[in-house]
Structure 1
């Protein structure tokens, strides 16, 4: 099932985000995205991230969606939640060849694409 909130924001402009966009598309990464269409943070952050992935030319087959629900006790439930230790959404895990390279969790101070782009570039800088 796809997250509707991952539909690219058609008004998002890559100008000013060139380095981040380039880093997202620089390798054959797999992006694991946990979110909920009901979640305010996901509604605010994921459409721009979807647009950044689109601008980077990331193959949609390399973006895996994990819809999350909220249990009565506030915990998150859904595919991969326990396996990846997901507590907050949105969470995006970037992997290459099955190895986790970087993880964005809801409360970072910068947009998802900026955070991930910086972290993916860091080993090469």
Structure 2
């Protein structure tokens, strides 16, 4: 099953800074996205994030989506326990070796794309 909310909203990609797109498209990052089509935050945020990934030229084979359902004990779905998913949307960015290097959880003062671009730029700033 694929997340419908991870369909790109092309109108939102035009508003993104070139530096954000460059950060998302750099290296061989893999993006793992947990969300639910029933979730208001996901419906509001994921289409813009999908548009950013598309505009950044991230190939589809480096984007994995994991639909989440509400269960009696919290969120349920593939990878939820393994990755400690409690709130959605959650986006985990992994490097080419599968190591987590950035994580967005539910909400921030900027878009998912901008938040992750900041996180991905931090290691470079300290190198």
State if a TM-score over 0.5 links the two structures. yes
Number of the residue aligned with 2:65: 65
Q: Does 1:27 align with 2:27?
A: yes
SS where residue 47 of structure 2 aligns? helix
Paired residue total? 124
Task: Map 1:38-117 onto structure 2 (within 5 A).
Answer: 38-73=38-73, 75-96=74-95, 97-117=97-117
Partners of 2:14 and 2:115 in 1: CA distance = 15
What is the Cα deviation at residue 71 of structure 1? 1.2
- Answer yes or no: is the 8 Å Cα contact 1:88–1:106 preserved in 2: yes
- Answer yes or no: is the 8 Å Cα contact 1:14–1:21 preserved in 2: no
Cα RMSD over matched residues?
A: 1.1
Number of the residue aligned with 1:2: 2
SS where residue 81 of structure 1 aligns? coil
Question: Stretches of 4+ moved more than 4 A in 1?
Answer: none
Partners of 1:16 and 1:42 in 2: CA distance = 19
Q: Any gaps of 5 or more consecutive residues in structure 2?
A: none
What is the Cα deviation at residue 107 of structure 1? 2.5
